[in-house]
Amino acid sequence: MTKTRIDHKQLRKLAAELLMAAGTDATEAVVIADNLIWADLVGRFTQGVWRLTVLLPRLRSGLVRSPCVPEFIQKAEGMGVVDGHDGFGHYVGHIAMKKAIELAQGNGTGLVAVRNSNHFGASAYYVELAAQAGMIGFAFTNATRRVAAHGGLTPIFGTNPVCFGAPLENGESVLIDFSTGAMAGSVIRKASEAAQPIPEGVAIDEHGNPITDPQQAQRATLLPFGGARGYCLSLLVEILTGVLTNSLISFQIPTMHEKNQSPSRIGHFFFVIDISRLLPLSEYLRRMETLVAEVRKSRLQTGVTEILIPGESRWRNYAEQLREGILLDWTTTESLKSIANELEVSTPW
Amino acid sequence: MTKTRIDHKQLRKLAAELLMAAGTDATEAVVIADNLIWADLVGRFTQGVWRLTVLLPRLRSGLVRSPCVPEFIQKAEGMGVVDGHDGFGHYVGHIAMKKAIELAQGNGTGLVAVRNSNHFGASAYYVELAAQAGMIGFAFTNATRRVAAHGGLTPIFGTNPVCFGAPLENGESVLIDFSTGAMAGSVIRKASEAAQPIPEGVAIDEHGNPITDPQQAQRATLLPFGGARGYCLSLLVEILTGVLTNSLISFQIPTMHEKNQSPSRIGHFFFVIDISRLLPLSEYLRRMETLVAEVRKSRLQTGVTEILIPGESRWRNYAEQLREGILLDWTTTESLKSIANELEVSTPW
């Protein structure tokens, strides 16, 4: 199926227009569009403009509310809670991470726990905001239940990603962002659209047998990645995002992809460290270069051509697509076109 | 080989006496002994009294210094650095975590970065201090290079464990503590003593071929656990403990087990969240019980008899050994006896 290159500015404009035409507050639309386009630029297409096909129906049904005014409740000098009041997760998350950065500027560290939010897209987007401010960032979110505990058959946890960002000298931060399930839910969804089988060790049926059919896998229980250790990380993220925030716990969150349901009430957790309080930023950057250089100098395993720093392949996508345009697949362009027609918005393709 | 049960109080007394007889400051000896005995009680024997066989020679050679006065430098309201001045990692770590808890009591969160320390034993000991104070704790440390980057053959990172603790209603906290290398270095060392082969996927030779001989594995490069995701976590821990602390980075740290070398200058990183600032502790505990109950209710995979909460098997060991005595293996009792004879200290066996 053919792919189309779209200039990122045109695509950002389209995303914002679609959001506004569907009833999203204008300020929110700009923030959400920026988030979606960033995900597309770095190659996380499952968190890019394709998401509008899920987000807009949820707005229409009132499960996501806009305009929304996220409410900040300060809990300590460097600590607070944001109640998202069912607003777009992308917007609520942005407000919360910006607040965490502001707290860290005044206090060295900033912690913001978020309740009553929605799916917030690519976690890496938020830690990148921290890295751009010269800070180390953590971003966590829960999500509807998909992943079993180690040894179990019942889905308990969301794919609860672990996400961490740290600035580098060249401006391309270290970006760590991975699902604690054996595979991200959105990646399985994409595999299903492309009718590509998924590997064993990802999804299981009700008896624990492996499922490789991506369509079946979408409704199946996922295994935690790396066995007991992945389960530990799923639980860690759940405690921070589900328990501490007073929001819903993953197994209580309704799925996003079904109709006639209640709001997601997802929890997020952001934590930021102002590096310059611990050592001069220039000294930190020099030390990071020492570490990165040592990693790159590694002798390579057979068949490996280079060691990548986490985030590096994302930044390569970013540079290429910023220059050449974002490479959208047919499913995305077609479904956006159909939404655009309905909303009487013109597409650049 | 026979094992011996020793009452934990007697063993704690012996550990403190051996430390003092070897020249450790009395206050420090009590703290270090408590740490070692806790590790033994929970069944982490590789971080228990057996460690004295490594620690005491390092004290004697001046690579670990006692008495030591860890220096606290406040960096913000809830943030500081501890310079360990080459003291025992167990003592420096204890001082630093206590300080992080104190900061969190005043400020909601407490972050303490530690430089110029030594091997600090079981990470879980520190987060348990936080959990006992009604707080969530994180503890990280780097260590001498053992683990390759994903795709590499050269050791770059220490086994850089990820450690997290959170209180539960019954007083037995969630304890997550795992190596980001495919296997903890101390576990390989124990396998070597027991002449038990290690599984493939843990250690590799200079060409990347698997090593299963535990003796060879002790000097070999380890793989990160779970491929790219384990590598990401090794790097994350290294940034927090090696880069941010201004201490040595793992690949710069000399190994503990060789003679004629320089001090370790290991870095640690502690972070504590005072739960009661975000929600009443009783409400948090109730929410944790809801989550734990849901996990326990999981339908089980074939061959699995129950789902354990992280730390649960540790607490079972703890209860049993507190009651029955600590089950020391022959290698440990023999080597401690020989040290005790040399230092003219009597052993309870």
Give the C-alpha separation, A161 to A155, whole Å. Answer: 16
Q: Packing angle between helix B281-296 and helix A228-238, nearest 10 degrees? A: 150
Q: Which of A78, A207, A290 sits opposite B78 (nearest CB)?
A: A78
Q: Which of the four pLDDT bands, split at 50, 70 and 90, describes residue B137? A: very high
Show the tokens assigned to B61.
């050679």
Q: Mind listing the pLDDT tens digit for each residue in B24-52? A: 999 999 999 999 999 999 999 999 999 99
Please tell me the predicted confidence (pLDDT) of residue A256: 65
Has this prediction a pTM greater than 0.90? yes
Q: Domains of chain B by range and CATH?
A: 1-60+313-349 (1.10.1530.10), 69-177+225-297 (3.30.1370.60), 183-222 (3.30.60.50)
CB burial string A148-183: b at 16+ within 10 A, e below: bbbbbbbbbbbbbbbbbbbbbeeebbbbbbbbbbbb
Q: Do B151 and A76 touch (CB under 8 A)?
A: no
Please state, in angstroms and as integers, the Cα–Cα distance from residue B228 to each residue in A137, A150, A222, A226, A308, following that order: 20, 20, 19, 11, 10
Cβ neighbors of B62 (< 8 A, separation 6 or more) are none
E strands, A77-230, where? Answer: 79-83, 109-117, 135-141, 147-148, 155-157, 162-166, 174-178, 203-204, 210-211, 221-222
Please tell me the predicted confidence (pLDDT) of residue A42: 98
Q: Which of the four pLDDT bands, split at 50, 70 and 90, describes residue B257? A: low
Q: Which of A228, A242, A290 sits opposite B249 (nearest CB)?
A: A290
The C-alpha of A38 sits at a distance from chain B's nearest C-alpha, in angstroms, of: 21
ipTM above 0.90, yes or no: yes
The C-alpha of B309 sits at a distance from chain A's nearest C-alpha, in angstroms, of: 9
Give the C-alpha separation, B52 to B15, whole Å. Answer: 8
Show the tokens assigned to A46.
């499952």
Q: Do B176 and A109 touch (CB under 8 A)?
A: no
First to last CA, chain B: 16
Q: Mind listing the pLDDT tens digit for each residue in B322-348? A: 999 999 999 999 999 999 999 999 999
Nearest CA in chain A to B297: A154
Please tell me the predicted confidence (pLDDT) of residue B107: 96
Pairing relationship of beta strands B109-117 and B79-83 according to DSSP bridges: parallel
Q: Which of the four pLDDT bands, split at 50, 70 and 90, describes residue A157? A: very high
Scan for tokens 């602390």, then name that residue.
B245
The C-alpha of B164 sits at a distance from chain A's nearest C-alpha, in angstroms, of: 7
Q: Mind listing the pLDDT tens digit for each residue in A31-65? A: 999 999 999 999 999 999 999 999 999 999 999 99
Cβ neighbors of B239 (< 8 A, separation 6 or more) are A136, A166, A174, A288, A291
Instruction: Summarize the confidence of residues A194-208 as an average pLDDT.
Output: 94
Burial group, residue B7, by CB count within 10 angstroms (0-12, 13-18, 19+): middle
Show the tokens assigned to A316.
């390569």
Closest to A184 measured CA to CA, from A208, A209, A202, A163: A202
Mutation for testing the A interface, residue in B236, B237, B241, B245 having most A CBs under 10 Å: B236
Mutation for testing the B interface, residue in A79, A112, A308 having most B CBs under 10 Å: A79
Nearest CA in chain A to B298: A154
Please tell me the predicted confidence (pLDDT) of residue B258: 60
Please tell me the predicted confidence (pLDDT) of residue A62: 93
Residue B231 in this model has a pLDDT that exceeds 80: yes
Cβ neighbors of A154 (< 8 A, separation 6 or more) are A148, A221, B297, B298, B299
Closest to A277 measured CA to CA, from B83, B73, B235, B265: B73
